Amino acid sequence: MMGLPSCSEVESCMTDYMERALPWRKRMGIRIHLLICKVCAGLYGRLRTLSGRAKDLFAPPSPEPPVEANAALQHAMDLIRKQGTNGPPPT
């Protein structure tokens, strides 16, 4: 049986776990602990929403326009236009 981290160990490593700054063996232990321990899972969930809100605060209010989506749309429009002029004539 692998030695799972204790609750206090999980709590102290939780931010590192969220930032993926831990070796996989430790991450696995914490992951399993979070699956079986409701106390730590709840804490982890709260921490995640907190960090999500923090990210929202620091993020720019409006995201950049999706340049790639616009380019894809333009490309599609060009194709349609080309098909309209160069397509085979209907019989």
DSSP string covering the chain, please? ---PPPHHHHHHHHHHHHTT-S-HHHHHHHHHHHHH-HHHHHHHHHHHHHHHHHHHHHS-SSPPP-HHHHHHHHHHHHHHHHHHHHSPPP-
Closer to Zn ion at the Cβ: 42 or 66? 42
Work out whether 37 is an interface residue with Zn ion (CB under 5 A): yes
Name the segment binding Zn ion (CB under 5 A); options: 7-15, 51-59, 69-77, 83-91: 7-15
Pick from 5, 13, 17, 40 the residue near Zn ion by CB under 5 A: 40
Q: How many of the chain's residues bind Zn ion (CB under 5 A)?
A: 4
Closer to Zn ion at the Cβ: 39 or 79? 39
